[in-house]
Amino acid sequence: MATRIDRRMAKLRNEGRPALVTYFMGGDPDYDTSLSIMKALPGAGSDIIELGMPFSDPMADGPAIQAAGLRALKGGQTLAKTLKMAADFRAGDNETPIVLMGYYNPIYIYGVDRFLKDAIASGIDGLIVVDLPPEMDEELCIPALKAGINFIRLATPTTDDKRLPKVLQNTSGFVYYVSMTGITGSALADTGKVAAAVKRIKGHTDLPVCVGFGVKTAEQARVIGANADGVVVGTAIVNAVANVLGPKGEKTADPAEAVATLVSGLAQGVRSARLAAAE
Amino acid sequence: MNKPATPNSFRTGPDEQGMFGIFGGRFVAETLMPLILDLERHWNEVKNDADFRAELTDLSTHYAGRPSKLYFAEGLTKHLREVSSARGLAGGAKVYFKREDLNHTGSHKINNCLGQILLAKRMGKKRIIAETGAGQHGVASATVAARFGFPCVVYMGATDVARQSPNVFRMKLLGAEVRPVTAGHGTLKDAMNEALRDWVTNVEDTYYLIGTAAGPHPYPELVRDFQSVIGIEARAQILEQEGRLPDTIIAAVGGGSNAIGLFHPFLDDKEVRIIGIEAGGRGLDGIEHCASMNAGAPGVLHGNRTYLLQNSDGQIMDGHSISAGLDYPGVGPEHSWLRDSGRVEYVPILDDEALEAFKLTTRVEGIIPALESAHAIAHAVKIVPAMDKDQIVIVNLSGRGDKDVHTVASMLGMEI
């Protein structure tokens, strides 16, 4: 069963360019503003949306995404509201894939069966759950695959060739290659090493490989996109929101517009990626 | 929760997946997964290795000062017998303290740190990181890092840095770098998040020396095994000194390493009542406590499934305890399993009750206990007067209280 992610990736492959995958934090700084950001993403050039589920203890995230999650939680965001946000978005866009990204505990407390049912009803296409490695597949991965939702796994520089098959086994949609050992928002790794890693993973799977962690500028998106099937940008987007919030959280400019401006630039980067690679 | 069937032995966990029933597991980011598997491989190699055991035993004896004494707390026993008489009960069990406070660095934490530093050395790691609440584990980590020549970074919540300043200074003297963590309430939970972020960044050369019997498998198992020396000794000592097993054993539970260390060797002694003490803070009615097993629910945090203080959306709460070492919204997974299986009782003790026990022990025993340990003593104070005189209670005196004098002074409105 092809999902929106599969269809979108096939379409981009035909166009001969990598996907721009954009992460933002659901509910940051409040529900309505966040929904307006989400709605602005496809028009600005985002191909796949990663909708962040805020968590109190985001162990794999750097200061920017930690702060965004806390702003969202302070603004009253819950997992139920994040699902509603996806549903509200879906009412006006039935094509752009939505991937929920976050940590397991809120899903576990919500209840896995109830969560999957509501996720499907909300038009969710895939899940990235940072703290569920393949060793814990029975928890959510297997039930999600049975329910028809892609389970997108992270592969990292520490995932060697011996371990890759285990990581890829129940992965679908795409593989998310974490460009470095570290937390989100750190400096971009050596792009030559990233390209080699993407090639290595492609030797094990036909799935598209998207690269994230550390990509902040259009130029970086262009360079990474020359070899990868997609480029994930998160911290830069979350920072674009933070930059238009005053010390008390008041908006000093329109966050959706700030994000759209950034994403438009990044979209130009990925659209010139293969041209650059061909040169 | 459904109560699991009573197993033949309570000492066989975890299973190969690192589970104690539904608790435990390996809920970590993929970056860390190969490291945890590598750690498990090394741990399985050394845990029955005679050379490793011999080296650890030698260090435990000559460096840490083991075995720690099992001390008949005659002053406290006498006091509680008077309390019993005043109530017309004419009872009062004999109270023993397992003197982990007499270890090098002043608490049980050295037991685990010595074991793990030897493991880190075997694994060829070059750098040690640790998290700490009260600073006891931070001090023990900095100590073994100094002894074995490792650079050491200790993550400590900013709140704890302020309330445990003597330990912060000790760590610095020992050559460790103390990094204050301002996220959240600036306590142990936040320090653990930051240590995990360091580890995920420095995967090649860094050993994460977790201080309690929690985190992803195999940490709960290996920390328990290194701390079980407490219970193994206590069991042999009471058999020698009294000719029989105790009626009740009591230990305070934050993450729960001193408690699991005392409890584990007694788990299959069905006649021994086992009680773990959680931090009741200012009471279980509100949110100012750390009684995750009395007032929390199972959830997933810091690599394992266990009882957690959390809201209905699965967001982790901060909790509160007068004792920095108990100020953690979770607990080691084996305790969660022992709770659900009914083998161990877990009860809360309030800040005020712990403070009274701290003062009492200081006065009648000439021992200043750590505030963590004072929680366990406070429960003994509650139950001992109603017990018979020929009964025996062992309390784990997990650490000494010198580090807490500033906190206690400010609670009592005194300046020092």
Domain range for A37 is 2-275
Among candidates A19, A25, A17, which has minimal Cα distance to A6?
Answer: A19
Pair of tokens at residue B161: 């840095």
Can you say how many angstroms the Cα of residue A200 is from the centroid of all Cα atoms in its chain?
22
Which domains are delineated in chain B? 27-53+108-224 (3.40.50.1100), 64-106+228-411 (3.40.50.1100)
Candidates B15, B23, B30, partner chain A, best to mutate (most A CBs within 10 A): B30
Bridge-based pairing of strands B23-27 and B303-308 is antiparallel
User: Which residue in the set B201, B301, B312 is minimally distant from A57, CB to CB?
Assistant: B301
Over residues B173-215, the pLDDT tens digits come to 999 999 999 987 788 899 999 999 999 999 999 999 999 999 9
Helix axes A79-90, A112-121, angle to 10 degrees: 20
Run of H or E including B121 = helix B109-122
ipTM: 0.95
Query: Minimal Cα–Cα distance from B55 to chain A, Å?
Result: 31
Contacts of B65 (CB under 8 A, 6+ apart): B102, B103, B104
By C-alpha distance, the chain B residue nearest A78 is: B313
Nearest by Cα to B251 from B126, B353, B395, B347: B395
Residue A212: pLDDT over 60: yes
- The pTM for the full model equals 0.96
Residues B103 and B105: their CA atoms lie apart, in Å, by 6
Distance between CA atoms of residues B211 and B144, nearest Å = 13
Residue A210 β-bridge partners: A176, A230
User: Shortest CB distance from A108 goes to which of B32, B33, B299?
Assistant: B299
Note whether A19 contacts B: Cβ–Cβ < 8 A.
Answer: no
Phi and psi for A168 in degrees, rounded to 5? Answer: -80, -20
Structural domains in chain A (count):
1
Return averaged pLDDT per consecutive 10 residues of chain B, 416 residues in all: 72 96 97 96 95 98 98 98 97 98 97 98 97 93 98 95 89 98 85 95 96 97 98 98 98 97 98 98 93 97 98 94 90 98 98 97 98 98 98 98 89 85
Residue B94 contacts residue B77 (beta carbons within 8 Å):
yes
User: CATH no. for residue A142?
Assistant: 3.20.20.70
Q: How far is B360 from chain A (nearest CA, A)?
A: 38
A132 to chain B, any CB pair closer than 8 A? The answer is yes
Of B303, B310, B315, the CB nearest to A73: B315
Residue written as token pair 């894939």: A97
Give A133-185 pLDDT, tens digit per residue.
999 999 999 999 999 999 999 999 999 999 999 999 999 999 999 998 989 88
The helix (run of H) or strand (run of E) holding residue A121 is: helix A112-121
DSSP state of B403: G
- The conformation of residue A26, written as its DSSP 8-state character, comes to T
Q: Which residues pair with A20 in a beta bridge?
A: A231
| The residue type at A119 | A
Largest CA distance in chain A: 51
Rounded Cα distance, B295 and B285, in Å: 9
Contact B329, B254 (CB under 8 A): no
CA-to-CA distance for A68 and A55, rounded, in angstroms?
Answer: 10
Alpha-carbon distances, residue A43 vs A15, A38, A98, A257, A263 (angstroms): 18, 10, 15, 11, 9
Q: Are strands A209-212 and B303-308 parallel, antiparallel or unpaired?
A: unpaired
Name which of B282, B267, B271, B258 is nearest B353 in CA terms.
B282
